[in-house]
Structure 1
Amino acid sequence: MREPATRPRPAREQLPAGGLELLTLLARLLRRPRRGDRRLPLLWLLRPAGDGAVAALLRRFTARGTGRRVPHAVLDLADRPPTDDVATALREVHRQLSLEAFGAPRLRFRHYPLADWLMHQTLAVDVDAADSGRASLVRRLRDWRGRRVGDDPQVGVDSGLGAVLQLLLWLLRRAVPSVVFRIAVSGRVPVVGRQYRWFMRQQYLAPRQSVTFLGFAERLTAGWRDGEHPAQVEKLLLHAFLEDLRLAYRRRFWRPGDWRRTAYPVMLLDGVRPDNVGHTLVRIVDEVRNETGRNDPLLVVAVAADPPPEPAAPRPMAEAEEAYEEWAEALPERRRLRRPGAWLMVLAAEEDAPGVPPGVAPPALVAPDPPWWARRFLPAAVAVVLLAGVGVWAHGRWAPDCRPWPTDRVSVRLVGGECVGYSDTTGQVFNSEPGQDRLRAVQRRIFAQNRATEEVWRRSDHRRPYLTLVYLGSLTGNRTRADEESYVSEREELEGMATAQYALLKESAAADDAALLHIVVANAGRQMRHAGDAVRMLEGLARDDPTVLGVVGLVDSRTSTAAALRELNRVGLPVLAPTLSADRMDTNSSLYLAMSAPNREQARMVEAYARQVLRVGEAHVYWTTGERSSLTDDLYVSTLVDGLRERFGTRLTRLDEWRSGRRLNQECGYPGMLFFAGRWSEFDGFLRALKECGADPPRHLVADDSVNRYMANPGLRASAPGNLPVTYVSKASLATCAALRAAQAARDDARGSFLTWIGADDLLDPPRCREGTGPPVGERVSLAYDAAMMMVRALESLAARLRHADTGRRWEPRAVNPVGVHAEVLRQNAAGGYPGVSGLIRYAPDSGEPVAKRLALLTVAKVPDVAAAPVEVFHCGVADAAGPDPGCRVAR
């Protein structure tokens, strides 16, 4: 409440005796507490006959202020016709309080206007016309709700389209509003029709006798109302009026606007006499408050020369504060006993008492300012703060192609400028860079097959075994040209998993023993640098989803990859790595299984090739580790270099690091084996440096298996510098198009089926290995396919044992766990190895590295000649049959 004004007032406005105390009390009562609400009395002010000083004082009191004024209504009953009744008086009070004239949002009424409107309606009262009267009331009610029904616009019906439009217009203008109105007045739907339900639940006029609101409304109309008790009708009107004030003054913490009403409304009745409506209005307010037992926020001030309707001992105005305290203390008991006049508080002006000196001014009747958090600037301030908070939160976490809004199977965030996390829906497709259309396409294919897998599982009544595998790779971070596909390896591995998923979807619908595969795609960023963040997200996924049984991928052998393996081992998730080949990666996880031979086997094959085929006595080796990496961090390069140093010994006459921009003139015409032991991303620069040799290039250029990623990229090969021949290591030479066709002709079911799947129209884009048209399959497709199918076959084996007595049982994902499936893979493998498309896969006891896994050396005569297929010239390891390692030999 603002402090009382202290400016002097003119002598003609001298306050009557007790006036200052009265106005001080009124200012206190009208100020709304910050917490809770106070009970407001029916204040009856007795003035001497013919003395208008009190009324004049209150009029000036309510009219003052130019800012936030107290909502008020003034009824001068002396100037109103003596025939005015309660309905007429409430109509005028409602009009004045509804004005937007108090420096605050106007008070809105819902129940009282409806009751008053019904009392002005005239319907037929004879029984024969009752039905038509009810229909008329329904139409009027619907129109009163703001749905004006006019003439429908005319639409020509000469054509079928015109008839359809006419029907739609009729539905929108008549049928739909009518249905909504009927639902509202029924009171049976919680969301709509609250005002109608209130009339049927309040206590006046026995609304339950009418069964429906329409019947009750009919009783309030003119003519039909004659049979009702007039006092009950008046109390209903007043109760509806007070209910609207209660709703307007309720406080809800989620709506700051409710807290802006800081002053109670006041109704000033001047000239109250026993023969006018003022007496009746004060009496029924008292009765309604007693009978309903509910408080309301209205302060009623009646100025009269006669005593109130109920006898009450008056107190002098000068004792207004003390009188209020006594009244408030006695109210609970008088209210409980429902005594007449319980809410009345009578104050009397004394005729002979001295007035207030003219220099003293009364307090101003203005509404206090709302609390700071409820003021109008708050929504805008909150919006600004929220936007700023979202901006701060999103900075470094959000990008147009990385939206960190978590759903059931999408959890991503921006880390170091890369979108890290996992997804199994098109809501998040990794890598929006130009040139990576095929990478995005295979993700979308997998996500579409995920939906198909879920649908097939649902139709099988959840009988088929169901597993989820996570592909974890480096899907972002490489710098690329707009026409350059830089993620060939990752795309091929995803294609391999998509092929496994596709093959399982093609199983017969009645094959309850055939598993279904769901795939989640996860990104660990460039060089697996953010693998820790990705694994932490996957840990939550594995905890919540029991179908998650393993991880496939981890494309780079680095220290960050080793750390991710340790974390995945802690989480309890097996890892099947299609191409990781750094030596002893399995020491980081007891649940690790490699699909490719380790680097020491690659070094053995390269040394055997140099000795047996090239017949050279020495070798030069150059190694690279890629951007922002080192030999210590790059486990693939470091273990490969160690293996070459061990195999060649003193014949390794040069071992050096090559960096972009370094010249290689010293290698021109070199007769020994020049070996590139680095990352594929630097191979193009390496070739560019050798181009300076012109017509005298090194005689025997050989590269490691990382260069396979370069050779699988037609865009890079086509623009390769020079026309050098190169021989490079392959981990899946048994899965080339020619080898697959030969296997299919020899009735090799595993490779023949794989060839069929990769050539299908509705899987890979474009289809692979088609005669004369299809591009090569890519060796990582078969390696990832083998990894996924090893897990699938292990789960099917476990499912068969778990359900051997009841083949019709539903599959319970919690019946198995990732560690158990890994153990089953090893158990099956111990029987003779897994006959993979990329070659036989066998593991030694207590090892995650394959034994005698097939490796080969492929040769191309000219690197830029994309149309020429590589030719296998040398290989090591076992192809298909179990048995001793046949060693390394020249291809035939």
Structure 2
Amino acid sequence: MRQGNWRGGAGNEAALAVFRLMQQLIDRYRRNRPVMPLVVIKAEDAGAGREIDEQVEAIVRLVHKANERRGVPVQRLEGGGATPYEAALDMVRTLAEKPWESPGTTQYKPLAFPRSRLLGAIEQATATVFGQSDGNTGEIGEELILEQLRRLRWRADRPRRGTWGASLRNSVRPETFVGALFIALLSVLLGEIDWFLTVLVASLALVGLAVVGLVGRSAPPLLWLRRASRWFATTSSLAASSTGYPSDGWSSLSPRGSWDVIRVRAAAVAKRVAHAGAGDGHARQFHLELRVQALLEDLRDNYRPRAADWRRAKRTRPPVVLLHRATQDNGGILLINAINNVRSRRSEVDPLLLLAALPAAEVMRHTPPPPQRPGAVRPAAPPGAQEQYDRWADELSLGQSPVAAAMLAWVLQLPLTTQELTTAPARTELVTHPVPRTWAWWVMSRTSIALVVVGSLLGAFLWAGHWRDTYCHGPLTDRSTDAIWAGRDGDRECVGVATVPEVRFARGNGLELLGGGEGITFDRIEQAIREENADIAPGDAYVTVVYAGPLTSTGRDPEATRKGLEELTGVYLHQQAVNKTVNRSVKLRVLTANTGQDMLRQLTAVRKIIEVARRDPTVVGVVGLGRNTDESDDAAALLRAAGLPLVNTTNSSSDLPRDFPNYFGLAATDEEQTYALGLVARQIARKLERPHAIVLSRKDRNGDLDRYTAEQRDAGRAMLRASGFALGPDVDFDLAGGASLNAPLTGICQAERVPDALYFAGRVEDVRALMRGLSETTGCWNRALTVFTGDDLTKDTFSDSASIATNVTLYHSSLAPLDRGTNPGFYADAHRTLRALLDDEKVTALAAGRPAYEDELFSSGQTVIAYSATAALYDAAARGDVRRSAAETWATLHTVELNNMPTGTIAFGPAKSSVSGHLHGLNIVKVVRPGPSAERTVVCGKPAGVAPPLTAKDCKP
């Protein structure tokens, strides 16, 4: 039946008046929820004939037709049965068990009657046991009733055997709690794991839900928690009917106690139902009113406010019951009396609206007192107190209702005069309109929920993809915002701070340490640091140091991360020494921060470090950032604003120490390096007749943000000029996939005057192209040349013939004077610590026949410098075995003086030192290739700390 407007006419004034009253009660229900009466209409003249009675009944049919297509829940009852009791009970069952007349597009889902169904199960069990006892109520025992209820699973009509498909569909309906939970968990899984595992988990979950659904429908394991069971166990009407222990004591936290209450009450109700079936008038009245009470409670629950499904906001019209003809014989009057009695003894208001038509000859009166029970005779002796109490309690359920009252309080009787029933009204056309669905239905309907679920899933997919593309560890839950993806396609790098185990910058990086560290991979060092962090007990005091360096590369060459590997190894060595070897009371925790290949993304990393430091007060400073780029100034400024000191490793900038008070560098500056190189260059220039030199450097703004080569170029030019060389125009080269030196070297070597010396302001990766060009280009290949360069060449081992040309003498500076330290035992201890990370059979010994510091494990100096930088920062942060803040650490760094370090004494003086009297360690190294292999010689140098300045006498070429 489809909804639509209804148009009709009122045949008389009485019909119009009753119609208007009913429509007002129905339509005003949404606004003020008025008290719903039991409306009884009849002809005022008791002697009116059948024709007048039909006019009264026509009014009920008019109201029925006006509302049957509106979406109002309407139920039309036809009385009938062997007795008035059976007829009234049949009508109550019809209301609870049969669908109400309403079109397919109702305001909300069909009305539910769980309390009535529970009583129906008790009735069915009683009927079965009653039939087996041949109608003898005395043979009906409590255990028989409960056994039959267990067989019925406490359900009146056992459902047909469920199928897997039906169980599956019912389990994952989005409007149910289990279905919504399943979809929510599925959306979480989609963000946590890949699609294959998600499909596998979802399939297993669906099978499990289907099994649970089948089991739940065959045996309700949580029956005592249902609303119907709670009502049955707590209603006061049954408390008087089941005086045996326990008749009360239901609790959601006590399954056993609650079951005891339910069983006792079920047995008591079953006995009453059996007596009612046997003709007991008291039991019949009790049975009918209990059924009516369950019906009204169900209807009240269907309109319950504050329900999760917003049912009260969705149902804006009351349920309407229509009796076309109510008499004593067809049970109609008995039903009206039962509803009135139940309402009169209870404080709750239900939404039921009833309209009944009585024949003119019928009298609407209260229920007459039930007859005396069969066989009950007055005893010869007065009953005892206990017997009188039992009788009183047995009849209390009926006695609570005002059956003897002079008026029926809930019945609204409308006597209709003959004139009203025969006079046509001035306005005869009546109209009703369909009841629209409310906003609550659109918000909380299945369609809306499905759209929300689909939208949520789609949003979860999109957000999960966004977070995976944004954060290195970005599931839907527990994502880490401290490390993000930077770059596109093949240039993507994970940049930031690794604060969760899932973020490992070196995962899959098989790059190994050289020399005695062979076999120890980048991934193993990062894992060892995490293990040291995990070993710090919850109650231990600790400080956190963040190492920031190039831990990833955008290309496929893992050698681009060697600087990060060696520096991180030095940080780990000091962490292990503090936490395990020395076992200091203030432990050292290390976090790793990736600045990207060649530290081109150090600003992103520094911002993430600052975010972590704001959340974690144990962060005392940063170690690393050992490459001078265009972002170095901004990075130091950000750390200064955040109150974090920076102990730099290999950044040789001359400006950073002067401009930033939070900057503490262990590397000799470019000016300090070129001063020492100038001591050699001056002596070489004096031996030449007309010394001539050129500065060869990388082009500015070539995409690498490298400021090291620019500062080296300026410092090298000044050094050559001060050393007595005549300078030609500067020459620069591009970095298109590598150093492009063919054209620049051709111009230099075939110029009118070929230079005697070059200052090479480039990086170690450019040297092989330089040497190849100097050994092959006409004009240079057979001419002795001297090349000066900075500290970056310390990374080169010069182990192959292409690393140095035979006609070239190379001088470069080294930031780590390993031969001038005062702690030679450091190298053996460090090797032993690293060896513990490997199995014994994989250990590589240090090179024999030469000092340990010349082993390739330490020769670049980066591991030693990072170790020393970490030691300096930790000393300031844990001075006197007291954990200090970042601000205190910054102030204390000025007083650090660590003796017996691998490169000398690590100290940061309060005043800036001169280029000759600085506190940094430094060596000048000479590299030549007189034969098949290169030879390295330390020309001169000084240890870190206070030491005599270098002189020309110390630095003989």
TMscore range, shorter length: 0.7 to 0.9
Q: Aligned pair in 2 of structure 1 residues 120, 822: CA closer, same or farther (>3 Å)?
A: same
The corresponding residue for 1:76 is 78
2:574 & 2:410 partners in 1: Cα distance? Answer: 83
The residue matched to 2:429 in structure 1 has which SS?
Answer: coil
Q: Which runs of 5+ in 2 are unaligned?
A: 44-52, 131-136, 163-209, 250-256, 274-281, 368-401, 514-518
Q: Which shifted more, 422-431 or 848-857?
A: 848-857
- The answer to whether residue 645 in structure 2 is matched with residue 645 in structure 1 is no
2:856 & 2:732 partners in 1: Cα distance? Answer: 35
Deviations 1:118-140 (A, max 9, x none): 34335899999867976776676
- The answer to whether residue 117 in structure 2 is matched with residue 113 in structure 1 is yes
The corresponding residue for 1:700 is 786
1:437 & 1:339 partners in 2: Cα distance? Answer: 102
CA apart distance, 1:44: 0.9
What TM-score, normalized to structure 2?
0.68
Q: Which shifted more, 520-529 or 751-760?
A: 520-529
CA apart distance, 1:707: 4.8
2:798 & 2:339 partners in 1: Cα distance? Answer: 89
The corresponding residue for 2:537 is 457
Give 1:843's match in structure 2, choosing from 902, 908, 921.
Answer: 908
- The answer to whether residue 835 in structure 2 is matched with residue 759 in structure 1 is yes
Give 1:399's match in structure 2, choosing from 453, 460, 469.
Answer: 469
The residue matched to 1:798 in structure 2 has which SS?
Answer: helix
The corresponding residue for 2:432 is 363
Give 1:636's match in structure 2, choosing from 697, 708, 714.
Answer: 708
Q: Aligned pair in 2 of structure 1 residues 136, 121: CA closer, same or farther (>3 Å)?
A: closer
Q: Aligned pair in 2 of structure 1 residues 639, 215: CA closer, same or farther (>3 Å)?
A: same
The corresponding residue for 1:856 is 923
CA apart distance, 1:53: 0.7
Give runs of aligned pairs for residues 384-463 of structure 1, distance below 5 A. Answer: 398-399=468-469, 402-404=472-474, 407=478, 410-414=481-485, 417=488, 419-430=494-505, 442=522, 446=526, 449-450=529-530, 453-458=533-538, 462=539
Q: Aligned pair in 2 of structure 1 residues 781, 220: CA closer, same or farther (>3 Å)?
A: same
Does the CA-based 8 Å contact 1:668-1:696 persist in structure 2?
A: no
Does the CA-based 8 Å contact 2:816-2:861 persist in structure 1?
A: yes
Deviations 1:360-414 (A, max 9, x none): 2430454435455445554455457657767887898651863456859653445
Q: Aligned pair in 2 of structure 1 residues 236, 568: CA closer, same or farther (>3 Å)?
A: farther
- The answer to whether residue 662 in structure 2 is matched with residue 658 in structure 1 is no
- The answer to whether residue 948 in structure 2 is matched with residue 884 in structure 1 is yes
- The answer to whether residue 906 in structure 2 is matched with residue 873 in structure 1 is no
Q: Aligned pair in 2 of structure 1 residues 129, 195: CA closer, same or farther (>3 Å)?
A: closer
The corresponding residue for 1:17 is 13
Deviations 1:1-39 (A, max 9, x none): x99937x66xxx7655354565555555445888x8624
Does the CA-based 8 Å contact 1:467-1:548 persist in structure 2?
A: yes
2:865 & 2:711 partners in 1: Cα distance? Answer: 21
CA apart distance, 1:41: 0.5
Give runs of aligned pairs for residues 517-556 of structure 1, distance below 5 A. Answer: 517-525=588-596, 531-556=602-627
Q: Which runs of 5+ in 1 are unaligned?
A: 151-171, 312-334, 803-814
1:14 & 1:349 partners in 2: Cα distance? Answer: 15
Q: Aligned pair in 2 of structure 1 residues 654, 613: CA closer, same or farther (>3 Å)?
A: same
Does the CA-based 8 Å contact 2:4-2:69 persist in structure 1?
A: no
Give 1:272's match in structure 2, choosing from 326, 333, 354.
Answer: 326
Does the CA-based 8 Å contact 1:414-1:420 persist in structure 2?
A: yes
Tell me how large the CA RMSD over aligned residues is: 5.4
1:111 & 1:95 partners in 2: Cα distance? Answer: 11
The corresponding residue for 2:238 is 205
2:308 & 2:428 partners in 1: Cα distance? Answer: 46
The corresponding residue for 1:167 is none
Q: Which shifted more, 127-136 or 868-877?
A: 127-136
2:861 & 2:157 partners in 1: Cα distance? Answer: 72
The corresponding residue for 1:315 is none
The residue matched to 1:362 in structure 2 has which SS?
Answer: strand
Does the CA-based 8 Å contact 1:423-1:520 persist in structure 2?
A: yes
Does the CA-based 8 Å contact 1:858-1:870 persist in structure 2?
A: no
1:146 & 1:729 partners in 2: Cα distance? Answer: 93
Deviations 1:819-852 (A, max 9, x none): 22233343342xxx44433543222214599943
CA apart distance, 1:46: 0.5
What TM-score, normalized to structure 1?
0.72
CA apart distance, 1:340: 7.7
Q: Which amino acid aligns with 2:922?
A: L
Q: Which amino acid aligns with 1:5?
A: N
The residue matched to 1:700 in structure 2 has which SS?
Answer: strand
Q: Which amino acid aligns with 2:271?
A: D
1:145 & 1:721 partners in 2: Cα distance? Answer: 96
The corresponding residue for 1:776 is 857
1:610 & 1:53 partners in 2: Cα distance? Answer: 124
Does the CA-based 8 Å contact 2:875-2:896 persist in structure 1?
A: no
The residue matched to 1:56 in structure 2 has which SS?
Answer: helix
Give 2:673's match in structure 1, choosing from 602, 611, 622.
Answer: 602
2:312 & 2:505 partners in 1: Cα distance? Answer: 47
Q: Which amino acid aligns with 2:874?
A: V
1:727 & 1:144 partners in 2: Cα distance? Answer: 100
2:113 & 2:805 partners in 1: Cα distance? Answer: 87
Does the CA-based 8 Å contact 1:426-1:447 persist in structure 2?
A: no
The residue matched to 1:827 in structure 2 has which SS?
Answer: coil
1:588 & 1:299 partners in 2: Cα distance? Answer: 87
Does the CA-based 8 Å contact 1:790-1:834 persist in structure 2?
A: no
The corresponding residue for 2:548 is 472
Q: Which shifted more, 614-623 or 642-651?
A: 614-623
2:409 & 2:342 partners in 1: Cα distance? Answer: 11
The corresponding residue for 1:516 is 587
The corresponding residue for 2:397 is none
Q: Aligned pair in 2 of structure 1 residues 72, 184: CA closer, same or farther (>3 Å)?
A: same
Does the CA-based 8 Å contact 1:85-1:277 persist in structure 2?
A: yes
Q: Aligned pair in 2 of structure 1 residues 5, 119: CA closer, same or farther (>3 Å)?
A: closer
The corresponding residue for 1:672 is 756
Does the CA-based 8 Å contact 1:272-1:279 persist in structure 2?
A: yes
Deviations 1:706-749 (A, max 9, x none): 4556x4899xx9998999978575655456xxx7xx99xx9734
1:47 & 1:788 partners in 2: Cα distance? Answer: 101
The corresponding residue for 1:322 is none
The residue matched to 1:209 in structure 2 has which SS?
Answer: coil
Q: Aligned pair in 2 of structure 1 residues 726, 265: CA closer, same or farther (>3 Å)?
A: farther
Q: Percent identity?
A: 21
Does the CA-based 8 Å contact 1:14-1:357 persist in structure 2?
A: no
Q: Which shifted more, 349-358 or 782-791?
A: 349-358
1:348 & 1:431 partners in 2: Cα distance? Answer: 93
CA apart distance, 1:543: 2.8
1:840 & 1:479 partners in 2: Cα distance? Answer: 37
Does the CA-based 8 Å contact 1:843-1:851 persist in structure 2?
A: no
The residue matched to 2:238 in structure 1 has which SS?
Answer: coil
Deviations 1:662-686 (A, max 9, x none): 6121333855332321355666766
CA apart distance, 1:547: 1.5
The residue matched to 1:93 in structure 2 has which SS?
Answer: helix
2:804 & 2:66 partners in 1: Cα distance? Answer: 96
- The answer to whether residue 123 in structure 2 is matched with residue 55 in structure 1 is no
Give runs of aligned pairs for residues 237-256 of structure 1, distance below 5 A. Answer: 237-250=291-304
The residue matched to 1:538 in structure 2 has which SS?
Answer: helix
1:144 & 1:437 partners in 2: Cα distance? Answer: 75
Q: Which amino acid aligns with 1:678?
A: G
Give 1:218's match in structure 2, choosing from 259, 263, 279.
Answer: 263
Q: Aligned pair in 2 of structure 1 residues 843, 433: CA closer, same or farther (>3 Å)?
A: same
Does the CA-based 8 Å contact 2:145-2:270 persist in structure 1?
A: no
The residue matched to 2:322 in structure 1 has which SS?
Answer: strand
1:94 & 1:648 partners in 2: Cα distance? Answer: 105
Q: Which amino acid aligns with 1:360?
A: E
